[in-house]
Structure formats: C-alpha cells, structure tokens
Chain A
C-alpha cells in the first residue's frame, strides 16, 4: 500500500526520525492558520508548499513551491490545491491534488552549505535480507545513480536474526562523510529509520533527499513509504491511511468484489484465474494484435458472482473492444465457470463486444458445449493457441 509523504513522515516521527516542522492543509480555509503554525514552530517565515499525491516527480510538475512569506505561501496553496498535477509518474491526465503539506524551509543558509543524501531501506530479493542503501548523490533518481556511478552507493545488509547493529549504522554514516554532530545525528537517523521500517512492516522506505542542514542537523526532507499489504492485518492504524481517492475507481470496486484488478490502457479486456496465467494471457493479447485493457485475476473460486463482477468492471472501460476469458479449471470445474459466464451475461443484458471464452482442464468439453449452446454471442475455445487465433480474428 502506498501512503502520502505527510503520513510517512508521521510514522517516522513516531520512531524518532527527524523531519522538518510541517502540517497538512485539506481545504483552503485552513491555509492561513496552518502556514502561521508552521512558521511559529520553525521560527522562520520561509516555508515550502508540497502537493500530496501518490506519485513522484512532484516538483517537476509544479507541485512543490518555496515561499518567503505568508502571502506567497497562500498564493501557492491556492494554486496547487485542487490542481490536476502532471508529473513523469502520473501519466498525461495527472492527479488531482486533495491535500498539501506545508513545511519549514530547511535549506536555510548558515555555517555550511546544506547537503543532500539518499537513504533507503528495502528487501534484497537475492539474499532475502533487508538492505540499507545510501548515497552522497541525494535528490537524484537512485536507479540512475546505480547505473552511472555505482561506486557512489553504499549497501549494508542486515542479519534478520539480530537486526541492524550500531556498527552498521556507523559504517553507513561514515561512508556518507558525516562528521561531528551530523555523524551522531546520522547514526540515530539510520537506526530510527530501520525501526520504523520493521515495526510498520514496510516494503520500502526511501528518504530522498535526506538533508544535512547548514547547522549539521540530519532531516528527512522527503519520504516515500510503501507498506506490506499482507501485514496490514496487524497494523489497524496504518491500514486507515489508505487513500482511495488516489486509486483507480475501477480498482477500488474490484477490490470490494475480491478481484485482483489492474487497469491498463489497451483495448482487449481479460478475465483469468491465477496471476501468472493472467499475465501470460495479456501477453497473448499483445501477440494477437491487441493491447491488454487490464490485468484481472478472479482467483481460485471463479463462480457466477465473481465472473459477473469481473464482466461489469471490464465493461466500464470504454476502450474495451473484446473480452478474453481464460480459465484453467483444476479444482474449479469448467462447466460451472461456463454456467457462470452464461448467467452473468444474461444478468448484464446485451454485452456490446465480442467475448472469447477459453476453458481448459476439468470438464472443459462440457464447458465449451454450454457456451456454444447458450445462443449468446460468445465464442468458445479449448486450446490456448485457438483462443489466441480467435482474438486475432476479432482484432483484424
């Protein structure tokens, strides 16, 4: 599950990770009070106004603005709140900004130049261990750093039996060139960040940039946290952070019907049992000359109810020109799935696009017979190649 920057920083603060003073604005009427509050907490007029959406690159799209005073901050808040923010990660249509984070500007001048670092924790799938990744190249895309200057990334793997050790946090902090006060704060920062990660069952924590201020404080200037969906059952407080306005409405609806659905941009909808076969079916659509309109795994219990829910969600997408249903019946019998398809079809009424139903496995022949004898505009197939060819015919 993705959460907003302000929510992530809330988690970090709970574990003692230093963050800039900041508060959230949800509607413009609060703006003046909140900005003043941030100014009084930080003791500075200068603030930064940041759009809260689930996508990176907000600054590039004009969603992050610096203000020297209250008037400027109000103007930015007025401009950004409610805007359709387009960033390199949102796609062309962008995302509507429902919330703003107002924070103290921590890039204030002083003894030293402020310096940005990268600090992240994630699972290393090769070793099945958590790894701390840090770099002196803060504020940049870490993948780009890894590709161009891999020597600028330090990694520290954590033994799950004992967790992060003090020497490891020191090693990382020294590798970033921290000294004196910033070294001490950096070690504490890394330690607290690790605790925040493990206690919240995160799957990724990325602090980019982690900032060394001009007076040698270490702060999380930005923060991206992803949480493990499978562990939310033991974190009721974190589960509440879900913001469905950030999710695709089709996907929200699918989730309510216990369907695993991901909206895509293509023109052929698909409904499949099993995630691997669903991805493979999308690939077949592409090879047959179409583009997949979605990923949809109906899971092990493909019954009339789930099939109908799947149909309804796929049909909401106006780009869909055909639907391919691909079910490999193991435990679930194909004749029952076929009956489900026919029933769902009749419940929905006239479905305006051609449907190809490929049923294979237990009772596949009976299933195909039910489809063929239903009198509906549905084509059946048993062999996968046959189904692919039929998609090709429809798309031609």
Chain B
C-alpha cells in the first residue's frame, strides 16, 4: 500500500512528445513506472518511447485503461489539459507545469470539483512511491522504500528532506509535492490526511512555506484527528520580507497569518515536531520515531 500512485498505476503523459515530457517520461520508465502511453493532440497514431501516442485523453484511457496522468503541457494550455484528463475519467492528475495563469486554475479547479478525481499540483515535482512508481520530475535514486510520508510545497527542498531520511537509514512510503501556486488541487491538509490514513505510513514530514493558511489548516486537522502519527514540520521563509514574491507564485506574505513564524507557532501548538533549520529534518524524525516506540 501507499497513496495516490503504486506499481499498478497505469500512467499516461500529457505533453508526451515535447522536450520536457519526453525527457521525464524516459526517466519515469527507467525508474520502472508503468507508463502506458501519452497524449499529444495531432500526433495520435505515432509511437514514442516505445509507447502509443493518442490525440485525446479519452482515446488513451479507452485503449490503455490509464488511471493516472502526468501533465507537462505548456502553461497557456495546461488548465485545458487538466480538465480534459478529468473529463476522460483519469483518477489522479499530476500537473507539473509551472506558470499557469491563476484565473485559469480557478476555473479548472472548479471544473474538477464533484468529479471522482484528485489533482496534485500544478507547479509541483510530482508524486513518488519509492520502488513502485515515480510520477514526477524528482531524482529517483535518492529515495528508498520505507514508511515515512512526505508532503511539500516545493521541489528541491523535498529532495533535501528525502535525502536526509534515506541517509538516516529510513525510507519513504509516498512523497507528495503539492505545488507552490496559490491555487492547487490537493492542499497540505488533504495530502496529510491521505498519509495519516495510510497503514503503510508510520510518520509524516510536512514542509510548507510562507503565504496562505494551508499549513495552519493541516496542523489543526492533525490535532483534531488525535495526533495519530508523529509529524515533523518545517516552514521555509522565516527571513522572507513582507509583500515580495519568493519565487513561487504562492510564496508571498500578505497578512500576519502568512508568516513562517505564525505557521510554526500553530504547528507547535497542535503537537507537531517543528524544526527551525531544514538541516534538522532527518534527525528530528529519527527522534520522533524513538519517542513513539519507547
């Protein structure tokens, strides 16, 4: 078990024949992910990376039984690709694309609401269940199959946490990169909830950043849910100034609840193991696990 993706996932790649899509689809296949085909409108009937190319997601689903889609479509067309995947009956949509206009995502998110589909991202590194399926752009080799779940708004900072966990002799159940945009499909709380309910996850790392209130919402939920598993938390941007966008479209301090300090305080109050330095994530997780077993 694990969440969102596993060895049985049938994965298609939207934007399959483009440079990003080709490169990362190749890496995913090399990792052992079950990529069953791809979609590039107008290139249906071709074979790419020894897999069939389809004109529409609907055709791809019909021919391959795909249930997971990863999107590398350029920003101007990406929200359309998300809606197409949802319409075709894909169950898990993972949108990697960075730079989608916010109002496009407002519409796309509304469109998928009420449908039996989960969107992860956009502007995210994707999802990996180590040893089973890599559906994203993360470097596969740093991961190790195990029982720590990771939720994060950023890419390389997630890799950092993964690496510390692997080097501590532990491993990951599923790592979910939820994305750095202001409108995203799966929130911190929803991703944490998935891992909290996963019997193969013993503990969770929750990495947030300035902007929005997702981490506070997640922390409050963790407490209300009875702190069933230890959660190690970090918020990036303790030194970020107010009103400046720090790379990610969603990483901006507007009000006082947006700050790293405010989020970390709520997380502490809700019983999370909060680290001040990102260098301490792995060591803190080891300690948190020891305190549970002793």
Whether A283 touches B278, Cβ cut-off 8 Å, given contacts A203-B102, A262-B244, A276-B156, is: yes
Establish whether residues B103 and A228, one from each chain, have CB atoms under 8 Å apart when the complex forms. Answer: yes
Chain A residues closer than 8 Å to B238, beta-carbon distance: 282-283, 286
The answer for the CA separation of A330 and B183 in the assembled complex, in Å, is 26
Asked whether any CB of chain A lies closer than 8 Å to the CB of B182, the reply is: yes
In chain B, what residue has the closest Cβ to A364? B163
Complex Cα distance A187/B31, Å? 58
For A132-175 the 0/1 string (1 means CB < 8 A from B) is 00000000000100100000000000011100000000000000
| Per-position 1/0 for B142-173, Cβ under 8 A of A | 10000000001111111110011000000000
Of A63-71, A104-112, A291-299, A337-345, the segment with at least 4 beta carbons within 8 Å of chain B is A291-299
Among A143, A277, A282, A297, the most chain B Cβ lie within 10 Å of the Cβ of: A277
Q: Is B55 an interface residue, CB under 8 A from the partner?
A: no
- A362 in the interface (beta carbon within 8 A): yes
Q: A125-B212, A233-B76 are in contact. Are A280 and B106 (CB under 8 A)?
A: no
Q: How far is the CB of A45 from chain B (nearest CB, A)?
A: 38
Q: Are B213 and A125 in contact, CB atoms less than 8 angstroms apart?
A: yes
Nearest Cβ in chain B — how far from A289, in angstroms?
13
Whole-angstrom distance between the Cβ of A56 and the nearest chain B Cβ: 10
Least CB distance from A293 to B in Å reads: 11
**Bound CA–CA A42/B256 (angstroms):** 41
Interface string of B213-253 (1 = CB under 8 A from A): 11001000000000000000010111111011111111100
Q: What is the chain B residue whose CB lies nearest that of A362?
A: B139
Residue picked from A125, A126, A280, A286, most chain B C-beta under 10 Å: A280
| Number of chain B residues whose Cβ lies closer than 8 Å to a Cβ of chain A | 65
CB of A160 within 8 A of CB of B182, answer no
Q: For A328, what are the chain B residues with a Cβ–Cβ distance below 8 Å?
A: 156, 159-160, 163
A276 near B250 with CB under 8 A, answer: no
User: Given contacts A276-B157, A276-B236, A330-B138, are A201 and B247 in contact (CB under 8 A)?
Assistant: no
Q: From known contacts A275-B154, A283-B238, A361-B142, infer whether A128 and B160 are also in contact, taking CB-CB under 8 Å.
A: no
Once the chains are docked, how many angstroms separate the CA of A275 from the CA of B99? 14
Judge whether B4 is part of the interface by a CB distance below 8 angstroms.
Answer: no
On whether the beta carbons of A279 and B102 are closer than 8 Å, the reply is: no
Q: Which residues of B contact A (CB under 8 A)?
A: 27, 75-76, 99-107, 109-110, 137-139, 141-142, 152-160, 163-164, 180, 182-183, 207, 209-214, 217, 234, 236-241, 243-251, 255-256, 260, 276-280
Extra contacts besides A130-B106, A161-B110, A276-B251 (12): CB < 8 Å: A125-B182, A125-B211, A125-B213, A143-B256, A234-B101, A275-B180, A279-B157, A283-B237, A284-B278, A330-B142, A360-B160, A385-B279
Closest 8 CB pairs of A and B: A276-B154, A275-B247, A274-B156, A330-B139, A276-B157, A231-B101, A279-B236, A385-B279
